[in-house]
Structure 1
Amino acid sequence: MQVKIINPNEDQYGNSKENIFIAFDDKENYLGSAYAYPNVNYHQTQDTPYLIFIDVNILENMDNSLGDEVKKKLFDNVFSRAKELRLEKPELKARIYAGFENNSVKNEFYIKNGFEEDYTIIMETEIPKDFSYTVPENITIEEMNFSINEEFEKYKSMYDEIFVSPLDKEQYEEQRKHNYFRNIAFYIDGKLQGGCTVFEKDGFGYIETVFVLSEQRGKGLSKEIMKYIFNYFLSNGLNKSRLEVWLLNKRAVRLYESFGYIEVEKKLMFPGITL
C-alpha cells in the first residue's frame, strides 16, 4: 500500500497549510495527520522562547506495520517543517516540542526519534496556620466573570500569549465546578497586571495558574498573588496547597520554592529537542 502525504487548506485556528500534513492510502482513505505550530513564549520558557509544537496522530486500530509507516512518514514531514520554521527566527533560541498530552506511547515514539525527556512536577506545601496578608493599597482585586462570551475570548487571547498550552473552555468549565473556585484579576493603579486561578482539589488548595504581565515581572507582583492565594486558602480551611509546573519554567519553580513548595512527583510531558 502506498502512503500519500498532502497539505490541506489552513485550519480553523489560522495555521497555514504548509504546517499541516494529512496521510491517505492509494484509495484516498484517511490514515492520519500531523501539524507544526510555532509560538514565542517568554513567560514559561525563558531559556528557549521560540517554541515549535508538533503532533502526529494516526487512526486507532490500524495494522501495526502500516501504523508505524504512516506515523514515521508524518513525523518526517512535520519535523522537517518544524526545522524550516526554526530558521525563520534565528535570533531566538528554539525548542521543538512534541505532543500536548501525557501519552506514554506517543512520548516513547518521539524519544525514539531523537527527542529528549521533559517533565512537569507536582509540588506541595503546608501553609503556616498563623499566615496573614493584607492587600497593598495600590492593588485592586476583582473576580473575573465570563458570563459574556466576548469577555472569555478576550481573556483567552491574553492567556494563550502567556501560557504554552492554550486555554480550553471545556476544561475551564470543569474547573469551575470545584469548591472554592476563583479566577482573580490583580490591578495596579487601575490596570490589569496579573491574575490566578485556584480551587479545592482532593483536599488541597490547588493553584491552576499564576500569571504576571511582562511589564510587571520582577517587581514583586507574583509574590503578592501567592500571599493572597495562601490567605484565601486558609480562610476556607485549606492549609495544604498543591500545583503542577513545567520543570523548564525555572522562574515559576523558584517562586513556588520560595513559598515552601517541594517536589512530590514528576511526570513525563512534552518531549523536545533544542535547535
Structure 2
Amino acid sequence: MIIRTATLEDLPILLDFEQKLIEAERPMDPTLKQKEKISYYSIEDYIKSDHTEVVVAEVNNEIAGSGYGQIRDRKDFFIQKQYGYIGFMYVTEEHRGKGISQTVIKYLYDWFKTKNLEEVRLTVYEKNPRAIKAYEKVGFEKHLIEMRISLNN
C-alpha cells in the first residue's frame, strides 16, 4: 500500500468516492437531500490548497481509499490558534478491513505535525459504529455530542 498526495488526475475517482460516501451517509442523516446529487467537499480546491492535504491510498496501482487533512482556525478563546481536521475518509468495499483508513490517518497525523499542530478533530455520524471503531483504533476519543430535533414531526 502506498499513501500519496492526490493530484488533479485523481479527481474523477475522488469525486466518485465522494458520491459513494454521501450514498452511505444519507440513511444516517434525514436532513440531507435524498434524491439529487450533492457535494460535501471542494476536492479540486482542496488539492490546490496549501492548508489542505488530500491523500489517496493505492493498492496494486489502484486507488483504494482517500482522506484529507485540513488546517482550521480556532476561536480566540482556545489555547491553540489552529487545529487539524480530518475528513473525506473513504475506502472501497473490497479493501475495507485492511487498515487503509488507519494508514491514511497516520499519514495525515505526520502532515499535521509538520505544521506544528497539537490537536486533530473529525466528525462522524453516531449511527456509523464501524467508522467510530476505526477512529478509536488510532486514538480518537469522543469529545462533543451534537444533538438535533426535527420540528416538522
- TM normalised by structure 2 equals 0.70
1:250 is the counterpart of 2:129: yes
Pair 1:267–1:223, CA change in 2 (3 A): same
Aligned residue for 1:215, secondary structure, equals helix
Residues in 1 aligned to 2:117 and 2:17: alpha-carbon distance in whole angstroms: 30
The whole-number CA distance in structure 1 between the counterparts of 2:6 and 2:62 is: 14
Listed as ranges, the matches of 1:1-275 within 5 Å are: 138-145=1-8, 152=11, 154-163=13-22, 164=25, 168=39, 171-172=41-42, 176=46, 180-201=51-72, 202=74, 203-269=82-148
Structure 1 vs Structure 2 CA RMSD: 2.8
State the Cα deviation string for residues 7-38 of structure 1 (Å, max 9, x = none). Answer: xxxxxxxxxxxxxxxxxxxxxxxxxxxxxxxx
Question: Displacement, 1:250?
Answer: 0.5
Q: Residue 142 of structure 1 contacts residue 186 of structure 1 at CA under 8 Å; is this kept in 2?
A: no
Q: Structure 2 CA distance, aligned partners of 1:191 and 1:167?
A: 25
Report how many aligned residue pairs link the two structures.
129
- 1:262 is paired with a residue whose SS is coil
Q: Distance in 2 between matches of 1:238 and 1:224?
A: 19
Divergent runs of 4+, >4 A: 151-154
Secondary structure of 2:5's match? Answer: strand
Higher relative contact order (CA 8 A, sep 6+): 1
Does the CA-based 8 Å contact 1:179-1:199 persist in structure 2?
Answer: no
Deviation at 1:221, TM superposition (A): 1.1
SS in 2 for 1:207: strand
- 1:142 is matched by which residue type in structure 2? T
For residues 210 and 167 of structure 1, do their structure 2 counterparts lie closer, same or farther at Cα, with a shift above 3 Å needed?
farther
| Structure with the higher strand share, 1 or 2 | 1
The structure with the largest helix share of the pair is 2
For 1:90-131, what per-residue CA distance to the aligned partner results, in whole angstroms no more than 9, with x for missing partners? xxxxxxxxxxxxxxxxxxxxxxxxxxxxxxxxxxxxxxxxxx
Identity, % of aligned positions:
20
Q: After TM superposition, give the deviation of residue 220 of structure 1 in Å.
A: 1.3
